[in-house]
Each structure stands twice: as C-alpha cells, then as structure tokens.
Amino acid sequence: MKCFLFFGVYLFLSLAWPSLGASARSDGVVFCYYGEWANERASAGRFGVSDLPTNLCTHIVYSFLLLDGPTGNIIAPKPTSNEGKTNYVADLIALKEINADLKILAAIGGWSEGSDNFSPVVNDDALRANFVKNLYEYIDSNGFDGLDLDWEYPSQRGGLETDKEKFVSLVKELKEAFTPKGYLVTSAVAVTQAHIDLSYDVTALNEHLDYINLMTYDLHGTWDTETGANAPLYPQETDAPTLNLNVNNSVHVWINNGASPSKLLLGLANYGKSFTLTSLENTGTGAPFDGAGAPGPYTGAAGTLAYYEICEDQQNNPSEWSVTEVEGNYVYANKDLQWVGYDNPNTIYAKARYAKEMGLGGIMYWAVDLDDFSGLCGSKYPLISAGVNGYNSCH
Ligand SMILES: *[C@@H]1O[C@H](CO)[C@@H](O)[C@H](O)[C@H]1NC(C)=O
C-alpha cells in the first residue's frame, strides 16, 4: 500500500520539481479522446490537430465516425479548417512523424448515435459483415492504428435484447479482420453492474478487446434530484451507503465480472457537471437544484463545463468562487447559484495513482480538447500531465 502514503503532495512536488511537468512520458497507456468538433469552438476554445499533446498521450482517438442508417455503411466527419487550425485526418496521422510510438485510433458511435443503427446492423449477419469490411477499409486506407467502439449501449436506448450477444460477435469479427495488420480493437463502456447485466458479456469482450475504456464519469448530473460530483473516486459524504456510484466501485465491478485489470483503462474527465442551485443555504453535494448550470463561454452546453472554463473563471474572479476539495476524491465549487463538480490536478493525480495501484493498464481522458490545452490558467495540459505523473508515481 506504499502508493497511498503520498496523497496530497502532488502540488508541492510539481511546484518544487518542474521536471514533473508536461514533458513526462507515462509508463502506462494514456488514451486521449479527441472530439473533432472542437475545431468549431470559439476563440480560445478552438482546438486543432496541432494542439494535441503527442508527448503525453500514447493513444489518440479521433471521435466520432457515425453509422449511415441501418446499412453497415459509415459516415466520417467532414474535415474543417478554422483560423489556422484543422481537424484533418491526414494532419492527425502525420503526428506519428513527431512521435513514432503514438497510436492513432478512430472511434465510432457516441451518446448521440445511440442504438438505432448499431442494433439492426449487428443483428443481421450480412450487414454486420459489411460493417466490419467498411471499418477495416476506413482504418486501413487512412493510416489509423485501430478502432474504438463507442456503442452507448448494447440492448439499451432502443436496442434489442440480442445486442449483448451480437456485440461480442462484432468485436470478435473485427479483431479477426484486424489481426493480420496488428490493428487494435478497443471499446468504451458503461460502468455500473446494472449496465453490465444489460449490455456486456465481460469475459467474452475481455478475450477479444485490446483495451476496455471505463467511462468512470457522468456519475452525477441534472438527471439526479440533488447536486453531485461528476466522478467521485470514493463515495461522497452525502451518498446513501447503498448508492455505490463512484469510480472505485466501478473498477471493482468490472474486475469482479471477469475483466483483466491490465486491459482496463480508468476514465478521467476533463470537464465538470454543473447545476443551478435552488438557494445558497446548501452549496455542497446533495443540495437541491433548479436546473442545469449555465453554458460555458466556449463549449456552450448547459450542465457541462470544460476544465479550462472552470479554471479561467476562478482565476479571473477569485473572490466570487467558493471551492471545496475533498482530498484524493473530488472537487466542487460555486459562484453564486452556479455549482460545478469536477476534478483538478490533485484529484486526477490521486485517481491515476489508484489506477496503477489496482494494476490497470493506464488512464483514459474524455476529452483532450477540454483540458487547459493552451495554458489559459498556467501551464498547458494540467490534468493530463497530473494523470501521467500520478500513474508513474506508484511502482
Ligand atoms: C473500493 O471498493 C471495494 C469494492 O466495492 C470496497 O471493498 C473498498 O472498501 C472500496 N474502497 C474504499 C476506500 O472505499
């Protein structure tokens, strides 16, 4: 347990020892999702391929390919170029010239894609074969190193009960098609036992997937009846003892269901979940709220704030913010009635250290473009750097 003796010293070390900063290489996997639509964001939020941290991420995942109806055909994102920044696939693949060890994958699916097209395709042998062929051709012809499946989620959100079994067929057939070229097949997955029961044959998936990306975030949000942190490592002080909605519990659930720890990557969120409080009488977790938090100035979505939107506003208006860090677990903060639960470099460090202690293969970030990639609040990529350092700190 020696890893846990050093909680809370990250800030001290990173100030006293600058070499722990952004140039560190991880001794585990650092899987960085890149939402290519970040190229459309305004001003300082605009993100291009040239912003990607090729020194910190071991794997970059271009998101998202979509399904072209229930046909087995796929739709690639439309390339864009804005104010000197691009999201072009050719520019992305060219990053391997900077770091020859970098792996670049494409992801298919996402929350908005849901199950409407995945389900009919995987349940039909001919459509599934067409899907596998199209995915292989896309990966192979563009120079990618693999594919990440982001079906959210088999047998849910309009899918069929048989999706759970046919998802395994899809993964197995993709792996067979990809093996001659050594391409990777990975998947992002939901993390509660209830989701596993509905969607995942863990033992079979574990056999065929190279990595399983645990989406250990979005554990609380405006679908709840009270405020809660996006991704608490351990239970929140206000949680009912039976709630079990935390990162530690999720990791144990996947391992107990048959996943190899070395194939699991711990999901880390470069964003917070925000709420508009009912009153200032209760500003903790478990507080009543009236609705989603106000949209951020760059990402523009109610209920979610990029880490750089949180840190920039706190830096510009320090006296208006009240920030509470539950050490080694989660952070929450409010400015008047605007409340956000999130991670800072200290909690990310603790979680990455936890991932190493648990024998996991590494860490995963949603999303690289939501960290402070341009250094608005200080040095660039504080959360990804903290995760790399946290994982490396435990031997
Ligand atoms: C982590 O989860 C496991 C399994 O649920 C539990 O036994 C353990 O006590 C948890 N650790 C902490 C510190 O809560």
Please check the confidence at residue 92 and state whether its pLDDT lies above 50: yes
Please check the confidence at residue 129 and state whether its pLDDT lies above 50: yes
Q: Which residues contact 256 (CB under 8 A, 6 or more apart)?
A: none
Structure confidence at residue 20 (pLDDT): 45
For the CA of 252, the nearest atom of ligand 1: 4
Structure confidence at residue 375 (pLDDT): 98
DSSP character for 178? H
For the CA of 251, the nearest atom of ligand 1: 2
Cβ(252) to ligand 1 under 6 A? yes
**Ligand 1 center to residue 256 CA distance, Å?**
12
Instruction: Give the whole-angstrom CA distance, residue 262 versus residue 5.
Output: 23
| Span 251-297, pLDDT tens digits | 999 999 999 999 999 999 999 999 999 999 999 999 999 999 999 99
Structure confidence at residue 114 (pLDDT): 98
pLDDT band at 372 (very low <50, low <70, confident <90, very high): very high
Instruction: Give the whole-angstrom CA distance, residue 70 versus residue 163.
Output: 14
Cβ(248) to ligand 1 under 6 A? yes
Whole-structure pTM value: 0.95
Task: DSSP for 243-308, please give it.
Answer: ---SHHHHHHHHHHTT--GGGEEEEEESEEEEEEES-TT--STT--EEEEPPPPTTT--TTEEEHH
Structure confidence at residue 338 (pLDDT): 98
Cβ(249) to ligand 1 under 6 A? yes
For the CA of 234, the nearest atom of ligand 1: 14
For a mutational test of ligand 1's pocket, the pick from 249, 354, 357, 360, i.e. the residue with the most ligand atoms closer than 8 A to its C-beta, is 249
Residues 320-342, mean pLDDT to the nearest whole number = 98
Tell me phi and psi for residue 322, to 5 degrees: -115, 120
**Ligand 1 center to residue 235 CA distance, Å?**
9
Please check the confidence at residue 364 and state whether its pLDDT lies above 90: yes
Cβ-count burial 61-84 (b if 16+ within 10 Å, e if not): bbbbbebeeeebebebbeeeeeee
Give the closest residue to 78 by CA, choosing from 57, 96, 93, 64: 64
**Ligand 1 center to residue 180 CA distance, Å?**
41
CB-based contact 4:394 (threshold 8 Å): no
Please check the confidence at residue 14 and state whether its pLDDT lies above 80: no
Give the closest residue to 191 by CA, choosing from 235, 138, 256: 256
pLDDT band at 24 (very low <50, low <70, confident <90, very high): low
Give the closest residue to 341 by CA, choosing from 231, 226, 248: 231
Nearest CA owner, ligand 1 atom 3: 249
| Span 180-204, pLDDT tens digits | 999 999 999 999 999 999 999 999 9
Instruction: Give the whole-angstrom CA distance, residue 299 versus residue 39.
Output: 11
Cβ(234) to ligand 1 under 6 A? yes
The residues assigned a catalytic role are 152
CATH of 7-269+344-392, one of 3.10.180.10, 3.20.20.80, 3.20.20.70, 3.90.950.10: 3.20.20.80
Nearest CA owner, ligand 1 atom 1: 248
Residues 376-382, mean pLDDT to the nearest whole number = 98
Neighbours of 317 (CB within 10 A): 10
Give the closest residue to 32 by CA, choosing from 1, 66, 62, 11: 62
**Ligand 1 center to residue 250 CA distance, Å?**
10
Helix (H, G, I), strand (E, B) or coil at 313: helix
**Ligand 1 center to residue 249 CA distance, Å?**
6
Domain ranges of the chain: 7-269+344-392
Neighbours of 97 (CB within 10 A): 9
pLDDT band at 25 (very low <50, low <70, confident <90, very high): confident
Q: Do strands 184-189 and 146-150 pair parallel, antiparallel, or not at all (unpaired)?
A: parallel
For a mutational test of ligand 1's pocket, the pick from 191, 239, 248, i.e. the residue with the most ligand atoms closer than 8 A to its C-beta, is 248
Instruction: Give the whole-angstrom CA distance, residue 352 versus residue 231.
Output: 13
Structure confidence at residue 11 (pLDDT): 52
pLDDT band at 10 (very low <50, low <70, confident <90, very high): low
Cβ(329) to ligand 1 under 6 A? no
- Higher pLDDT pick, 394 / 215: 215
- For residue 270, what are the CA distances in angstroms to 154, 236, 303, 304? 26, 19, 14, 10
Nearest CA owner, ligand 1 atom 5: 249
Average pLDDT of the residues of the chain: 95
**Ligand 1 center to residue 353 CA distance, Å?**
15
Please check the confidence at residue 16 and state whether its pLDDT lies above 60: no
Nearest CA owner, ligand 1 atom 13: 234
Give the closest residue to 326 by CA, choosing from 238, 387, 265: 238
| Span 232-251, pLDDT tens digits | 999 999 999 999 999 999 99
Residues 342-361, mean pLDDT to the nearest whole number = 98
